Structure 1
C-alpha cells in the first residue's frame, strides 16, 4: 500500500494529539481492567464461608428460606438463585447492578449465613476506578472521552504504522534495538499497538454501552427501533389468572430444576399481586442457550416461553460485546482479555517513554504538517461522522480546533507588518 505522505503527516499529528490526551488514562484503564479480570478468583475464597454450607441434616423448605431472607433484607428480594449442589447456600437477591445485594441462607441450620453487597469490597473500587476514575458521573465522561480518542489512536496508528519502514515482515514483529532507545520504544509501541488494534476496537465496542452519552444514545436507538429486550422478557404485561392459593416456592424450584437449563438458574418473583414467576438462566458461554419461562403464580401453569431469538438484534449484539469485554465466554476469552490489557499497558507505557526521549525542553513536540495539505472531503466527512457517533470526541475536537485558531491569530498579530 502506497501512502499519501502529506496525509500520513497529518494523521501522525492527530495520532500524537490523541496520545497526549488519552495515554496516561489508558495506562490506568488497562491496569485496572486487567486486575478486575481476577474478580471471581479473588472473591471466591473470601465469600466461600458464606456461600458454602455443611450438608448435614434435613434442609428447611425454600418457602421458609424466603421468609428468613425477607425478614432480614432491607429491600424485599426480587429473585432467588436455584442451588444446584447440596452444599450450596440459597442466594436471595434484591436490586440490580451496583445496587445488588445477595443474602445467603443455610437451609440445614435455618439461618442466614451472610450477605454480599455489589458496592462493597476491593474489586468494586477497582471497577469504579476503571469505569469512572473514582470521580462519579464526571469521571464516567472522562473515561468515555478517552475511549473515543482511543478509537482515533487505533485508526490513525494503523495507517501511520503500515508500512512504516522497509524491512519486510520483520517490521511487524521485531523492534529495532540498534538505533537507540527512542526508536526501540517507538517500535515496541507501534508493533504491540498494531497487533492488538482489532481486538481493542471490539473491546471498546463492549465498553461504550456503559458510558453516559454514547450508551444513552445507543439505548435510545434500541427503543426507537424496538431492538432491545421485549417488555415481556421482564414479565411486564404478563398476568396470572385469579386464584385462591399461590404456588409454593418449592414447587417453582422443582419446575426450574426439571428444565435442566445450563449456567446459573434464577427464579424471579412476581412483581405484583397478579404478576408471574419467571425462570431464566445466565449462560455466557453460549448466549443462544439463554431462555426465559413465565409461570402463573396461582396455578403454576406456563404463561410464556421466550428464547434468545426473541431479544432484539441490537441488544443481542450489545450483550455479546459486553460479555466479551469482561472475558465471560470461557477460559479462552479470559486469557485473551488479559493479553489485551497487558499489550495495551505495554503499548501505552512504551509510547510515553518514547515521547519523553523525543521531547525537547519547553516544547510539546507536536508534529508539523505542511501548509500545502488539504484534508479533503473524505477525511472531513469521517471526522463529522465520528463526532456524531462519539459526541464528547466531537466536542473536544472542536475545542482543539478553536485553540489552534486562537494560536494562529495571536501569532499573526505578533508578526511585523511588511
Structure 2
C-alpha cells in the first residue's frame, strides 16, 4: 500500500515542482538581488543622515523643543506627527510626518535655529529598491505577482523536500554532489542540496515577507482582528482623550517625562493633533519584548494608558518577529545571516534554471509527463486545496495551470 501511494504522488509532485520553479525562478532571482541590496540600506543612507543629524553644540540661543515644533509647522509643507527624542546634545532634533512610504523626516538645528534638511522616504534610492523588491515597480499588480511567486516558493520548498529526501544512500545523500556525471545531474544535486539546507531559513524569510502582501496580508489581518490577537485597541490612542484643563504642557516637559521612562532603543513622541488628543510616547527597538507605548494627558502629563509587549496578541508578535528577521534587524548576526540566505536563494534559482536548460529538449518545454492511467491521490488533492486556502493566489494559479494543461493535452502539445 505504501509503494502504491508513493507512485501515485511522486510524478504529480515532480511535475508541479517543475512548473512552479520555471515560472518563479526569474522573479525569485530579482527578489534575491533586490533583497540583498536593500540589506545595505542603513549603511548606504548613513552618511546623509549623519550630515543632517550632527550639530555643533553652542551655549547660547538654543531653541526649546516647543519652539522647534513651531518652526517645523511653519517651515514644513507637511504636518509634524512625531518627534524623535535626541540622545545627545550634538544631535539635531528630528521631526516625523506620515507613515510607511509617505514618511518624511525634518531635521532642526536648535542652535542655528534653522531647518538643516528634509528626507522624504519615497524619494530615496533605497525606496526604489524596496518598491522593485515588493511590487516590481508595477504598483498593486506587481505586489500580487510577488505574492504569487512567494506563495509558489512555499510550495516549492515543501515539494522539494519531498523529492529530495533520500530513499537510499544514508546520511551521505544529504551532502553528496555528483561532479563526475552530466552537467544536468551536477546542477540538479547542487539545487537539491541548497534547497534542503536553506529550506527552514527560507520559510522563515517568506513568513516575514507575506504579511506585506495584498491578498494573504489582508487575510492575515482579518484573522488577527477576528481573534483579537493584534495590537490592543488602546495602542493607537485615538480613543484616549485629554481633559482640557488650563494650558497644555510644553513639548519640553513631555520630553523630560519621556526621558525619565528610560525606554529601550529610540524614544519617539507622537504629537497631539487637537485640544483633546494625547501625547503618545513609544520606542523602536530590536528587543521586541521591551516595546512600550504610553499615552499622556497633554494638560496634566498624567499617564492615561500604558501598553507593553505582554499586551500584544500572538499573531502580531509573530508578525513583528518574522518581519524584523526578514529585514535583518536583530543585530549583526541577523544581518549577516540574511546576506547568506539571499545569496543562497540566488544560487538556488540559478541552479534550477541551469538544470532545466540541460534537461530541456529542443522544440519542447520538456514538462515532466504523468502516466495517463495515474490519477492524483486524495492526500495530494487535500494538500493542494489546503495550501490554496492558506495561499489564495497559489490556489488560483494551480486552477489556471490545470485548465491550460488540460487544453494542451487535448491539442497534443508537448
- After TM superposition, the score normalised by the length of structure 2 is 0.96
Aligned pair partner of 1:141 in 141, 144, 156: 144
Structure 1: distance between partners of 2:399 and 2:184? 32
Q: Secondary structure at the match of 1:365?
A: coil
Say if 1:131 and 1:140, in contact at 8 Å, map to a contact too.
yes
> Which deviates the most, 174-183 or 302-311?
174-183
Of 322-331 and 217-226, the range deviating more from structure 2: 217-226
Q: 1:247 aligns with which of 246, 249, 252?
A: 249
- What is aligned with 1:293? 294
Q: 1:56 corresponds to which residue?
A: 58
Partner of 2:219: 217
Q: How far apart are 1:381 and its partner, in Å?
A: 1.2
Which residue does the alignment assign to 1:387? 388
Equivalents in 2 of 1:37, 1:170: separation in Å? 35
Aligned to 1:346: 347
Find the aligned partners of 2:241 and 2:9 in 1 and give their Cα distance: 62
Residues 4-403 of structure 1 mapped to structure 2, 5 A cutoff: 4-58=6-60, 59-163=62-166, 166-284=168-286, 286-403=287-404
The alpha-carbon deviation at position 160 of structure 1 amounts to 0.4
The runs of 5 or more residues in structure 1 that have no matched partner are 413-418
Deviates more, 1:46-55 or 1:199-208: 46-55
Structure 1 residues 245-295: Cα deviation after superposition (integer angstroms, max 9, x where no partner) = 0001001111111111111110011133201111100112x2110011111
> What's the CA shift for 1:371?
2.8
C-alpha deviation, 1:375, in angstroms: 1.9
CA shift at 1:408, angstroms? 2.8
Decide whether the 8 Å contact of 2:131 with 2:137 is kept in 1.
yes
Matched residues, number:
410
Distance 2:335 2:7 in 1: 40
Give the C-alpha shift of residue 5 in structure 1.
3.7
Q: Which runs of 5+ in 2 are unaligned?
A: none
Which of structure 1's runs of 4+ aligned residues deviate more than 4 A? none
Deviations 1:134-189 (CA, angstroms, capped at 9, x unpaired): 1111110100000011111100001101116x443333224221112221111111
**Secondary structure of residue in 2 paired with 1:306:** strand
Structure 2 CA distance for aligned equivalents of residues 127 and 372 of structure 1:
47
Report the counterpart of residue 416 of structure 1 in structure 2: none
**Deviation string, structure 1 residues 348-404 (Cα, Å, up to 9, x no partner):** 001111211111111111112223433222211111111111111111111111112
Post-superposition CA distance 1:63-117 (Å, at most 9, x none): 1111111112222111000011121111100100000010011112111111011
C-alpha deviations, 1:19-66, integer Å up to 9, x for none? 111011000001110110000011001222112112233432111111
C-alpha displacement of 1:6: 4.0
Check the 8 A contact 2:9/2:377 in 1, yes or no.
no
Q: Structure 1 residues 410, 365: CA separation in 2 closer, same or farther (over 3 Å shift)? A: closer
Report Cα offsets for 1:292-337 as digits up to 9, x if no partner: 1111100111111111111222111111111111111111111111
- Quickly say closer, same or farther: Cα 1:343–1:15, change in 2 above 3 A: same
Distance 1:174 1:72, change over 3 A: farther
Give the distance between the partners of 1:295 and 1:121, measured in 2 at CA. Answer: 34
Indicate conservation of the 8 Å contact 1:7/1:373, yes or no: no
Instruction: Please say if residues 280 and 295 of structure 2, whose CA atoms lie closer than 8 Å, have aligned partners that are also in contact.
Output: yes
Q: Distance in 2 between matches of 1:104 and 1:68?
A: 11
CA distance in 2 between partners of 1:295 and 1:169 (Å)? 60
Alpha carbons 1:6, 1:369 under 8 Å: kept: no
Contact 1:79 1:94 in 2 (8 A): yes
Q: Distance in 1 between matches of 2:15 and 2:410?
A: 20
Secondary structure, in 3 states, of the residue corresponding to 1:228?
A: coil
